[in-house]
């Protein structure tokens, strides 16, 4: 059994490092879902503006859920790196008002 195409299953195969799926900097769309409130879009804008100085709130799109209990805020920000996005997502979740960031 000297067939080189067969690999020894007892040895783990080291996966090659995945290539970056996103090239930074880029325009990065996100959707933030939270409980519906008059000030929810403004609260989201404040957090996003802290992470992207060039953020333009006029691109904001707010959609209410069918029953009006939730709101989704869709926006596009200028992403400079993965660390920026992780920090933004963490701060949005830390507000206690955000249920999901997509």
Strands 61-64, 70-79: parallel, antiparallel or unpaired by DSSP? antiparallel
pTM of the full structure:
0.78
Q: From the CB of residue 74, how many other CB atoms can be counted at a distance below 10 Å?
A: 15
> How far is the C-alpha of 81 from the C-alpha of 70, rounded, in Å?
29
Looking up tokens 């997502």 gives: 89
Looking up tokens 């007892």 gives: 10
Return per-residue pLDDT of the chain as tens, 102 residues.
Answer: 555 666 666 766 666 666 658 899 999 999 999 999 999 999 999 999 999 999 999 989 999 999 999 999 999 999 999 999 999 999 999 999 999 999
């Amino acid at each position: 059994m000297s067939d080189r195409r067969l690999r020894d299953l007892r040895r783990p195969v080291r996966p090659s490092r995945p290539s970056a799926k996103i090239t930074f900097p880029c325009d990065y769309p996100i959707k933030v879902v939270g409980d519906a409130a008059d000030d929810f879009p403004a609260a989201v804008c404040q957090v996003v503006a802290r992470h992207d100085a060039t953020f333009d709130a006029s691109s904001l799109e707010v959609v209410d859920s069918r029953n009006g209990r939730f709101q989704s805020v869709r926006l596009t920000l200028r992403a400079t790196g993965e660390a920026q996005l992780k920090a933004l997502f963490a701060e949005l979740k830390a507000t206690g008002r955000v249920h999901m960031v997509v």
